[in-house]
Structure 1
């Protein structure tokens, strides 16, 4: 707990991947509000609709090598409608060798499929052939000692207090149990400041 408090007070160097997306913007804005120095990466940095003295906007594409400070903690809000992009992104981040990686995945896929139960089969209607890509990306991050957040259905509602649990306390998948991107972003930043789930899957849940 003390480490997390000190990191929050002193500020960390965070790199946000897919910073122009809805989750990426939430991560970037909240990180700046917490006093962290942020390098925000997007294919088109002009779409990162934030300005701040601690913010640097950088053009980057996960299909190629990424330049990431070795002392940085990477938080990814990367999503895709094309198979292969997530694994490319995970491999690029791992190859860059940051201090830690905190990755956003989907509850009911890969490592969390058993805990989620049969209800998670509905995900194939949404993700289809992208699920193997998600699983492979998650596995690459976990093998590198990173933390993968398996979120349920995401909304654009305002922040509300939530809780983060491990797979041992995971509830069955419920399509109606939604969680806001703002709440997920806060949980991922909490993990950056105070690591609780290194090399493991964590679930951000609404209160």
Structure 2
């Protein structure tokens, strides 16, 4: 497949690029600063953009089978950035007629798991209060996806870690894994690539966790 990856210098974005190249895909990695991007490969193209102009991004998404986005706030200071940047990506995709889009969101944006243990409910409420601005931004972003012409999927992980890829995790289409507390960025990337050709995930949120 021909794939474009946004947020390619981030933890999840770099993993998407590495795993996609290893699987034999052609990858266009969109980055603000190529000097911060250390991934190399014969089927890799690095596309420099500050994501300010949809017109400038059209070449990055034209003719692609799918677009994957690891864009997101790095801290509470970046609240609002996910929606802002995703709108630019959506505009470029819609202008080019590129339809398949997979983005990373977060578990609290999805529905609460059934029969969630009390301790997990408490943890969830505390985290949601601390990161309220970040999660509100992701909810607005998902609203933009729902109103778009794309065949989108939102992958919603809990707390992220830098542990190695396992390829083994729980996935709930339209829901959230019960007592799912962590998942490695490498496995989130794996899940995002895995849902690309799964029609059951189109226009759905997908909860992933160990």
Query: What TM bracket, shorter-length normalisation?
Result: 0.7 to 0.9
Classify 1:61/1:25 alpha carbon distance in 2 versus 1 (closer, same or farther; 3 Å).
same
Single out whichever of 21-30 and 38-47 deviates more from structure 2.
38-47
Preserved CA contact (<8 Å) 1:156 1:181: yes
Preserved CA contact (<8 Å) 2:3 2:26: yes
1:116-127 mapped onto 2 (5 Å cutoff): 118-119=121-122, 120-127=124-131
How many residue pairs were aligned?
190
Single out whichever of 22-31 and 114-123 deviates more from structure 2.
114-123
TM (normalized to structure 1)?
A: 0.83
Q: Secondary structure at the match of 1:35?
A: coil
Classify 1:63/1:115 alpha carbon distance in 2 versus 1 (closer, same or farther; 3 Å).
farther
**Does 1:188 pair with 2:192?**
yes
Q: Secondary structure at the match of 1:146?
A: strand
CA displacement at 1:192 relative to structure 2: 1.4
**Does 1:21 pair with 2:14?**
no
Which residues of structure 1 form unaligned runs of 5+?
1-11
**Does 1:63 pair with 2:67?**
no
Preserved CA contact (<8 Å) 2:177 2:207: no
Q: Name which of 130, 134, 140 aligns with 1:130.
A: 134
Q: Secondary structure at the match of 2:202?
A: coil
Classify 1:172/1:95 alpha carbon distance in 2 versus 1 (closer, same or farther; 3 Å).
same
Aligned match of 2:165 = 159
Preserved CA contact (<8 Å) 1:149 1:202: yes
Deviations 1:5-60, CA, capped at 9 Å, x for gaps? xxxxxxx0111111011111000000000000000011112212111110001112
CA displacement at 1:70 relative to structure 2: 4.2
CA displacement at 1:115 relative to structure 2: 3.8
Single out whichever of 150-159 and 187-196 deviates more from structure 2.
187-196
Aligned match of 1:99 = 99
**Does 1:49 pair with 2:55?**
no
Which residues of structure 2 form unaligned runs of 5+?
none
Aligned match of 1:38 = 27
Deviations 1:44-79, CA, capped at 9 Å, x for gaps? 122121111100011122333222214331111112
Q: Secondary structure at the match of 2:108?
A: coil
Q: Secondary structure at the match of 2:67?
A: strand
Classify 1:50/1:165 alpha carbon distance in 2 versus 1 (closer, same or farther; 3 Å).
same
